[in-house]
């Protein structure tokens, strides 16, 4: 028990030094209730064309299959909140998480440093790092590790910081002291449900039909955006922040302190006309290290063109 307490404290301290804001620990075990919820979500087709969500079901619901011998899921948050907005109010919008460099790379690099610290200062620990790039039910683990509750909009919400943060995990075979979940504080609030431009959140909340979500339509969907969504994208060309912007808990969000997440000035200064006339060369320069590269030039032009046809 003394070693577990010491190791838990060591990891939490080093995580904070590396820039992670909140750190929680959960026992690695099969997620039976979450598995049933995931199966129901998939059966309803709420994943749209994201066929990969159907793959590796056992890996998603059981970290001991993903990392044999796993004892702990270390859950962490990395703040990306930036109140700065694009200067032209009529310009097509980009979700604030994509303003800076690709979080998959920035956060995973810190996560690898943390795992290396654990292996160097604690001992022979087997573990793997995850940042939104593998079959890990990160919001469920964040909840179990006491980092936040799963809000009506489907996002992890922390009572002192809201939801503008990335989630990251280390699944390892080191037993540690485990945290208790935070209870749901959404109460009777329905702001995210009422504000969603495409009605992607179920009327009672806690269920997101991803096939209607603007982030899905502008990032995940490779086909043409269905005409039924004309006039409903609220000006978003990559991702969407609506359900976070209206969430009362995000009044507690603080600006991030990560230089890599600072926006390229060219991005925030571009006008509506600049975006309409976007060339592949300019796209490559602005989004050289950005997560926006995921949709490629053709994908972003598709989204911009769709917005231009809005009634």
CA-to-CA separations, 192 to 44, 195, 245, in angstroms, rounded: 21, 5, 9
What is the distance between the alpha carbons of residues 234 and 222, in angstroms, rounded to a whole number? 20
- Percent of the chain predicted with pLDDT > 70: 99
Range 113-117 average pLDDT:
98
State yes or no: pLDDT of 56 exceeds 70: yes
User: pTM score > 0.75 for this model?
Assistant: yes
Neighbours of 258 (CB within 10 A): 18
Spatial CA neighbour of 208 closest among 153, 246, 151, 245: 153
pLDDT level of residue 310 (50, 70, 90 thresholds): low
What does the DSSP assignment read for 6-32?
Answer: HHHHHHHHHHHHTT---EEEEE----H
Residues classed as catalytic: 132
For residues 114 and 259, the answer to whether their CB atoms sit within 8 Å is no
Domain locations in the chain?
2-172, 191-251+266-308
Mean pLDDT, the chain, rounded, equals 95
The tens digit of pLDDT for each residue in 174-229 reads 999 999 999 999 999 999 999 999 999 999 999 999 999 999 999 999 999 999 99
pLDDT level of residue 148 (50, 70, 90 thresholds): very high
More confident residue, 238 or 38: 238
């Amino acid at each position: 028990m003394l070693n577990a307490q010491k190791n838990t404290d060591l990891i939490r301290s080093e995580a904070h030094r590396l820039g992670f804001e909140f750190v929680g620990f959960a026992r690695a075990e099969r997620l039976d209730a979450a598995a049933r919820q995931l199966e129901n979500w998939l059966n309803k087709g709420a994943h749209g064309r994201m066929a990969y969500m159907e793959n590796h079901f056992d890996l998603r619901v059981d970290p001991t299959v993903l990392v044999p011998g796993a004892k702990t899921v270390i859950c962490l948050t990395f703040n990306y909140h930036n109140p700065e907005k694009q200067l032209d109010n009529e310009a097509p919008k980009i979700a604030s998480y994509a303003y800076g460099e690709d979080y998959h790379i920035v956060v995973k690099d810190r996560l690898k440093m943390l795992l290396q610290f654990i292996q160097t200062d604690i001992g022979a620990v087997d573990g793997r790092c995850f940042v939104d790039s593998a079959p890990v039910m990160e919001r469920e683990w964040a909840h179990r590790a006491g980092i936040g509750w799963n809000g009506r909009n489907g996002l992890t919400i922390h009572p002192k910081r809201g939801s503008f943060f990335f989630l990251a995990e280390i699944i390892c075979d080191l037993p540690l002291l485990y945290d208790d979940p935070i209870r749901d504080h959404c109460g009777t609030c329905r702001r995210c449900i009422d504000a969603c431009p495409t009605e992607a959140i179920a009327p009672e909340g806690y269920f997101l039909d991803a096939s209607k979500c603007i982030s899905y339509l502008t990032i995940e969907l490779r086909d043409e955006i269905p005409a039924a969504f004309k006039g409903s994208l609220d000006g978003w060309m990559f991702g969407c922040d609506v359900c976070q912007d209206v969430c009362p808990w995000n009044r507690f969000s603080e600006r991030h302190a990560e230089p890599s997440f600072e926006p390229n000035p060219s991005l925030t200064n571009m006008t509506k006309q600049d975006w309409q006339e976007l060339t592949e060369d300019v796209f490559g320069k602005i989004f050289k290290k950005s997560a926006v590269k995921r949709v490629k030039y053709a994908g972003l032009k598709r989204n911009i063109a769709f917005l231009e046809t809005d009634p």
